[in-house]
Amino acid sequence: MQNDAGITVLIPTPLRRFTGGDAKVIVAGANVAEVLDALDAAHPGIGERIRDESGQLRRFVNVFVNGQNVRDGQGVDTRLSAGDEVGIIPAMAGGASI
């Protein structure tokens, strides 16, 4: 069910143990950093797998907004609006867009 005020986050298999097995989580946030904060608040422990202590994406993690890799744009500052889809994928030899 699509929540109009929410951002859909797509969770890869190895992180689903934090989400009770859910492949999709809906949270609120105006940019990627806020969405990752909200995701960690809802599912404690998932955040540190994705970002390092300084809040940057870990070297092997790619985040996609509507299929576009945020590393090619504004990174975790990438702005979001309701209905956007945020995907988290361990970088498998790169991956420009999906």
State in angstroms the smallest separation of the CB of 46 from another protein: 9
Residues that bind another protein (CB under 8 A): 10-15, 17, 23, 49, 58-62, 87, 89-96, 98
The separation between CA 90 and the C-alpha centre of its own chain, rounded to angstroms, equals 11
Closer residue to another protein (CB): 24 or 79: 24
The separation between CA 39 and the C-alpha centre of its own chain, rounded to angstroms, equals 8
Closer residue to another protein (CB): 52 or 79: 52
65: Cβ–Cβ under 8 A, 6 or more apart, which residues?
Answer: 32, 78, 80, 84, 85, 86, 87
State in angstroms the smallest separation of the CB of 90 from another protein: 5
